[in-house]
Amino acid sequence: MLARSRIRPGFSLVFWREVDWLRRRPLLLAFITIVPMGLMALLTLIFSAGLATRLPIAVLDLDSSDLSRSIIRMVDATPDTAVSVRVGELAEGRGMILSGKVHGLLMLPRNLERDVFAGRRPEVVFFYNTQTLTIGNLTLRGVSAAVPTAAAGIRLSLRTAQGEPVDEAQADLSPIPVQIHALFNPTLNYVFFLLAAILPSVLQIVMVTASAYSVGIDVETRHRLRILRRLGGGLWPAIAGKVLPYTIVFLMVLDLSDSVLFGILELPLQGRGWLLDIAGLFFILSCQFLGVLLALLLKPTASAISIGTLLTSPAFGFMGIGFPRLGMNAFAYGFGAILPGTWYLTARIDQTIRGTPLDLSWKPILVLLAFVVGLAGLVALRLEVMRARAAREAAGTPPTLKEALS
């Protein structure tokens, strides 16, 4: 047996004890490493195309003229849409949309060419499925780029027929052209947009629930918290030793996925890498302390995990990646503000695609720091309360009336 004096209490004792504990639980270890990495790999595969191109649409050509054929060619030639099928009547096209085979139906009316040249302004109708909002909008983008291009040729001939010089007529076609610059994301790549945001969301769930689990086990077992504190030789070394092994694992997961994103998939890293790392560290710590706090407040551990899941798994919507927070109601805006992920993603967007100047970068990072300090403080406070209560009971102080009755 080891002499008592040879075991030196302190941070490293608790740290290595936790590492050992984690090593003997392959499933938990897999949950905090392989599960998020595997999900990341899956999502990378799903979005591997980067841009959604050549989305199938149907065409109903009732005119069969040179004009209608050239419109169809142009629609097929845009990057967004592909004419995958010709239908004979409207009902058939509708059926194709309902069965999910196409995302839209372009209808070219009878006598289109004749009416255009007679100045009767015939209507070209595009029916598109906006139930799938993004996809529907992409098909519309393709069609609404192609049809005016076809119309431009006609407009030009109308002017030259009036004796206007070609170059002047050309300028006339679009008196106020808009040069649109997509700031920060010139290719409008979907991968930048979603992939970079989904992993932190998944990781947020994993970090909160895994921390609740690992601490919950200690809370549920009698005397374990006291032993832990004694092993750590104080409150803070014990907390640090308990939390840090996971922090290191999560940092590795985050860094590994980031090196895939920036290194292999070549996502832009316009900002400062070190700021991104600081934000990542604060994000991880605040999620961990949130999980720890839940485990200290809620018993049994299953409840702590349930509440953690309940708070974090719908978080993606509240963090404003799909639908921006700007458009949310007050409740959703407020709830988004108390999620660490919201601020981490803000900092992440700042430091990856936006390249925000340093002086404007600090707000989300300071908010995350405030979360870390606040949550760690609450954890310490809760532990002190629990300890005081245990000490009171151990000292044999008569319990208060309320405690005695419960």
Q: How far is the CB of 56 from another protein (least distance, A)?
A: 7
| Alpha-carbon span 296 to 216, nearest angstrom | 7
Candidate list 317, 362, 386, 392; residue touching another protein; CB under 8 A: 317
Q: Is 222 in the site for another protein (CB under 8 A)?
A: no
Told to check if 394 binds another protein by CB under 8 A, we report no
Q: Can residue 166 be called a binding residue for another protein (CB under 8 A)?
A: no
Quick check: 55 and 138 in contact, CB under 8 A?
Answer: yes
* Residue for token pair 């009755």: 405
54 is an interface residue for another protein by CB under 8 A: yes
Q: Which long-range contacts (CB under 8 A, 24 or more apart) does 133-139 make?
A: 134/52, 135/52, 135/55, 135/103, 136/103, 136/104, 138/52, 138/55, 138/80, 138/81, 139/55, 139/57, 139/80, 139/81, 139/103, 139/104
Binding of residue 336 to another protein (CB under 8 A): yes
Does 214 interact with another protein (rule: CB under 8 A)?
no
Residue of 297, 279, 316 lying closest to 211 (CA atoms): 297
Helix (H, G, I), strand (E, B) or coil at 111: coil
Q: Is 181 in the site for another protein (CB under 8 A)?
A: yes
- 55/367 with CB nearer another protein: 55
Range 72-91, binding another protein (CB under 8 A): none
DSSP code of residue 51: S
Question: Among residues 306, 283, 284, which one has the least CA distance to residue 294?
Answer: 306
Size of the site for another protein (CB under 8 A): 128
> Which residues 252-291 are close enough to bind another protein by CB under 8 A?
none
Q: Write down how long the chain is.
A: 406
Q: In whole angstroms, how close is the CB of 259 to another protein at the nearest point? A: 20
Binding range to another protein, per CB under 8 A, among 186-194, 241-249, 291-299, 393-401: 186-194
Q: Which of residues 97-156 bind another protein (CB under 8 A)?
A: 97-100, 103, 112, 116, 119-137, 140, 143-144, 147-148, 150-151, 154-155
Q: Which stretch binds another protein (CB under 8 A): 8-16, 185-193, 230-238, 389-397?
A: 185-193
* Least spacing, CB of residue 373 vs another protein, in Å: 24
What six digits make up the tokens of 262?
A: 């920036």
The three-class DSSP label of residue 131 is coil
> Does 172 sit near another protein (CB under 8 A)?
yes
